[in-house]
A and B are shown apart, each in its own frame.
Chain A
Amino acid sequence: MTVRETAQEIDGVAADWVARLDRGALSPQEDQALEDWLNGDPRRLGAFARARAVSLSSERAKALGAQFCPDDFMTPEADAERGVPETPERRSDSPRRYDPPRRYDPMSGKKIVPRAGVSRRRFVWGGALAAGFGGLAITGLGLPSYGKEYVTHLGEVKVVPMADGSVISLNTDSRIRVLYTRNQREVHLEKGEVLFEVAPDASRPFVVKALGTDVFAIGTSFTVRKLGEVGVQVLVREGLVKINRHNQDSRAVEVGANRRAIVQAGDAPPTPVARVETYPVARDLAWREGRIAFEGESLSSAAAEFRRYSDTRILIEDPDVASETITGLFQSNDPVGFARAVAASFDLRAEVSEKQVRLYR
Chain B
Amino acid sequence: MVRVSDERALWLSRQVLPHEPALRNWLGRRRIAGLEIDDIVQETYARLITLEAVSGIGNVRNYLFQTAYSVLMTHVRRSRIVSFQTVSDLDQLGARAPDCSPEEQVMDRDELQRLAEAIAGLPGKIREVFILRRVNGLSQRDVAERLRLSESTVEKHMSRSIYLLMNLISHGGNGESRASRAWGSKAHKGLNRSDSKRNRSGD
- Asked if A and B are interacting partners, one says yes
Contact B33 A46, beta carbon cutoff 8 Å: no
List residues of chain A with CB under 8 Å of any chain B CB: 6-8, 10-12, 14-16, 18-24, 26, 31, 34-35, 38, 42-66, 68, 70-75, 78, 104, 106, 108-109, 111, 127-128, 130-136, 159, 161-167, 199, 289-291, 328-331, 334, 337-338, 340-342, 344-345
List residues of chain B with CB under 8 Å of any chain A CB: 1, 3-4, 8-10, 12-14, 16-17, 31, 33-36, 38-39, 41-50, 80-86, 112-128, 130-138, 140-141, 143, 146-147, 151, 154-156, 158-169, 171-172, 174-175, 177-178, 181-182, 184
Contacts of B175 in A (CB 8 A): 135
Contact B128 A109, beta carbon cutoff 8 Å: yes
Chain A, Cβ-Cβ closest to B111: A60
Contact A163 B172, beta carbon cutoff 8 Å: no
Contacts of A128 in B (CB 8 A): 181
Contact B115 A60, beta carbon cutoff 8 Å: yes
Q: Smallest Cβ distance from B162 to chain A, in angstroms? A: 4
Contact B119 A61, beta carbon cutoff 8 Å: yes
Contact A19 B155, beta carbon cutoff 8 Å: yes
Contact B118 A46, beta carbon cutoff 8 Å: no
16 more contacts with CB within 8 A, not counting A133-B122, A135-B175, A289-B38, are A11-B163, A12-B163, A46-B48, A49-B46, A51-B163, A52-B12, A54-B13, A58-B115, A58-B162, A61-B135, A73-B113, A109-B136, A131-B117, A133-B117, A328-B81, A344-B83
Contact A331 B31, beta carbon cutoff 8 Å: yes
Question: When A50-B41, A54-B169 are in contact, do A23 and B123 touch as well, CB less than 8 Å?
Answer: no
CB-CB nearest 10 A-B residue pairs: A344-B83, A133-B121, A7-B38, A46-B46, A46-B45, A19-B159, A53-B12, A15-B163, A46-B42, A341-B33
Contacts of A62 in B (CB 8 A): 134-135, 137
Contact A163 B12, beta carbon cutoff 8 Å: no
Contact B36 A7, beta carbon cutoff 8 Å: yes
Contacts of B162 in A (CB 8 A): 15, 18-19, 51, 54-55, 58
Chain B, Cβ-Cβ closest to A108: B146
User: In the complex the two chains form, what is the Cα distance from A168 to B39 in whole Å?
Assistant: 23
Q: Smallest Cβ distance from A150 to chain B, in angstroms? A: 15
Chain A, Cβ-Cβ closest to B162: A15
Contacts of A70 in B (CB 8 A): 116, 119-120, 127, 131
Contact B172 A131, beta carbon cutoff 8 Å: yes
Of B81, B117, B178, which one neighbours A75 at CB under 8 angstroms? B117
